[in-house]
Amino acid sequence: MSRGSRDDDRLDQVDRAPDRKPDTRARTQPSPEEVAARWLSLPRGEDRERVDFRDREYSLNGSETRALATVGAFRVVSPDDVGEERHGKDAWHGDWRRLAEQGLITRESITDRDGVHHVVALTKEGKSLLDAHTRPRPEGRQQEYYAGVVKPRELRHDAQLYRVFKEEAARIERDGGRVTRVLLDYELKRDYQRFLNREDRDGDADRAADRRAFAAANDLHIIGGHLELPDLRIEYQTDDGRLEHRDVELVTEHYSRGQLAGKARAGFTRYRGGGSGRGGTPFDPRHLERL
């Protein structure tokens, strides 16, 4: 289907020997973009390489691999937020233009009173390329990738999640942690529905009992009878080798007091961002405040 990455041989010691306690003194932290691309067998270096997939030929380099993985992991991102040191002010050139020309990403527009803002998402072809080149992860489940926009009205909210991730990932890393995977609420909601509709479920099973069982198995909380699901779950490895996670919520002015209280009681790390897309709130992807 395609060649393997020649960078596979350059995986760090944690990747090669997941059962070995990592040496935090020598460990270097991956960039936010590298987290989502860590288990991809796609080009990693500066040189462009040919990738054959489904009777098509693609040409990718490492920065484009990381950009694709980041877009896929967060479903939608602002180009300005990914690889800022490379793209500068005119973010739609370079990597993004080449990825769009190859049919791997699509551009969506957000219009508000401040003008038009562009975000990017994977195409189905882009998602398939990433899924087909994902190597098995020894310490847990694979990184999920997403294609397309599901809720256009929530683009403003969703486009800020990558910035929220970068902010919180930096805090985790300053505490000695090493981010390994990110989950969106889509994945948690999907898993919850699969659990509720599992084939071996007793027809007389109590829905509340199922909710409690799922919450306990996934370290989630039920507040006022409602299963609280975060916008983001950041998985990371601590400096002593333990696997932990941090649940993060991006709240907006549209949250009610009850919703805010529920997120707080669930222990979520909360950020306040720009508008969610309802009510004509200006889009400001750089406005974040940790609560």
Averaged pLDDT in 10-residue chunks for the chain of 291 residues = 42 40 48 89 95 96 95 93 58 84 91 77 97 86 91 84 95 94 94 91 84 96 95 95 95 87 94 57 61 84
- Quick one: CATH architecture of 6-150? Orthogonal Bundle (1.10)
pLDDT number for residue 25? 37
Q: Are 72 and 36 in contact (CB under 8 A)?
A: yes
Alpha carbon distance 194, 2 (integer Å)? 32
pLDDT at 112: 66
Contact 226, 208 (CB under 8 A): no
pLDDT at residue 44 in the model: 93
Contacts of 162 (CB under 8 A, 6+ apart): 32, 70, 74, 77, 78, 81, 82
CA distance 101 to 93: 11
Q: Residue ranges of the domains in the chain?
A: 6-150, 164-290
Q: In the structure encoding, which two tokens stand for residue 285, read together? A: 């992807």
